[in-house]
Amino acid sequence: MKLTDEEQRMLDGQYGKAVSMAMSILTKLGQIYGAEEMMPITQVHIDSTFFQLLGDAGLEFVARLVHCDTEFCVPTSLNPSARDIKRWQEFRVPPDFAEKSKRLEQAYLRMGANPTWTCAPYQNGMIPRFGQQIAWAESNAIAFANSVIGARTARYGDFADICAAVTGRVPKFSLHIPQNRSGEILLRLQTSDLIDFGDDSIYPLIGYIAGSFAQERIPVIEGIPNTVSSDNLKALSAAAASSGAVDLFHILGVTPEASTYEDAFQGKEPTQIIDIGEEELLTARRNLSTVKEGKVDLVVIGCPHASFPEVKQLNQLLGGKKIARGVELWVQTNRVVYHWLKEAGLLESLSFSGVKVTTDTCNLNWPRNIWDNWGFRLLVTNSGKWAHYAPGLTGLQVIFGNIQKCVEAALKGEIREG
Ligand code: F3S
């Protein structure tokens, strides 16, 4: 692999052990993917923040970097931690687990990361620009940054994200290269009276279908109105990156690299054309639920982390009513949105209704024993990503529904088919 003099000095240890180790890992990654050279990046989003996924070995890796006085050399944001940093006790997180999470959190802050603790950094504080070369981890954020913003990142996993922040370099490969960003398959939404773009739950369903068909290919979607919101595209990105390994999608007339059909496919023809109608949407909705009805224990909103308008809508739908006894309603968001909710007086109203707003974390990634402590059996969510992963990760039954259905389930304590 061809390295610049500066990169060679990094690898040779002239900037210390940590930089040398990080450079060595990244050059090996580049060799695996056939990259010929390294390239600079100007922003990193680290996903290696869930202690339980990294384990003690991961904690040791990060501690070793801190021991070498390592500092991140580009602006670096952080995915959610394994615990709500302020309210972990309220969520029944065991103290030993919280302590290890804290050590990981503090290590990143020592190295200069921005304490965003969110999986939607693109909505608050760390927003890349079109064409910017970045190194992001966290699948929904990768898909959103590439597709909706037009920034350029490959799919970085745990540890590679840290190494990118330490060196400010990544291999030149994958979606960093413009020619690798052309659409490959075409999904045509068949408009009909039954397809309701005013119902936000259509977007995770479209994403889920796109990911299922595309797998590792780049889908181009036709038929989404250009009034689609950032929150809708967030939900679509998360679902597409869950049912498939979608790191980039284009939406004709909506996303920045797809203003025309020719742009989206870079002058080539799609290798496959798939029509999506009501039947496919209904099938996707069925597939995202493990049961059709039942007594509800938990309702989860905010995967990816909820924006201010999303929480405001939830509060409006609750209309000052209290959720049913025995039901938990959790909203996951970041501290910036939390602050705005407080300033706007919405926290009080949510709390009156029995809603728990949690920041800095993602409960889906909890170890199984915390879920067992809660004793839940059935959860309801409006997130395609949460619904996709929850049965395997939490052991719970899941029903996917729109936000109205989620609120109804929380207020009644039960959900019926329909
Ligand atoms: Fe974020 Fe957790 Fe969903 S990290 S995207 S809330 S699974």
CATH architecture, domain defined by 182-286: 3-Layer(aba) Sandwich (3.40)
Please indicate whether the domains covering 5-178 and 289-415 agree at the CATH topology level.
yes
Peptide bond into 304 cis (omega under 30): yes
Question: Tell me, what amino acid is at 116?
Answer: T
Spacing, Cα 305 to ligand 1 middle (Å):
7
- CATH number of the structural domain 289-415: 3.30.499.10
Return the number of other C-beta atoms located less than 10 Å from residue 286's C-beta.
10
Q: Cα–Cα distance between 281 and 261 in angstroms, integer? A: 24
Residue with tokens 């979608």: 246
**Residue 60: both structure tokens together:** 């040791």
Please name the residue ranges forming H helices in 168-243.
Answer: 202-214, 230-243
* Spatial CB neighbours of 196, under 8 Å, sequence gap ≥ 6: 202
Q: Where are the chain's structural domains? A: 5-178, 182-286, 289-415
Q: Which CATH architecture has domain 5-178?
A: 2-Layer Sandwich (3.30)
Atom of ligand 1 nearest to the CA of 304: 5
Residue identifier of the C-alpha nearest atom 5 of ligand 1 = 304
Tell me which of 242, 303, 332 to substitute to probe ligand 1's pocket, judged by most ligand atoms within 8 Å of the beta carbon: 303
Tokens of 164: 């990118």
Task: Give, for all 418 residues of the chain, the pLDDT tens digit.
Answer: 999 999 999 999 999 999 999 999 999 999 999 999 999 999 999 999 999 889 999 999 999 999 999 999 999 999 999 999 999 999 999 999 999 999 999 999 999 999 999 999 999 878 999 999 999 999 999 999 999 999 999 999 999 999 999 999 999 999 999 999 999 999 999 977 778 888 999 999 999 999 999 999 999 999 999 999 999 999 999 999 999 999 999 999 999 999 999 999 999 999 999 999 999 999 999 999 999 999 999 999 999 999 999 999 999 999 999 999 999 999 999 999 999 999 999 999 999 999 999 999 999 988 899 999 999 999 999 999 999 999 999 999 999 999 999 999 999 999 987 6
Cβ–ligand 1 contact at 211 (below 6 Å):
no
For residue 171, the SS3 value is: strand
- For ligand 1, the distance from its centroid to the CA atom of residue 303, given in whole angstroms, is 5
Q: Which candidate, 299, 282, 280, places its Cα nearest to that of 382?
A: 299
Terminal C-alpha separation, the chain: 57
Q: Is the CB of 238 under 6 A from ligand 1?
A: yes
The residues with which 250 forms a beta bridge, in sequence order, are 220
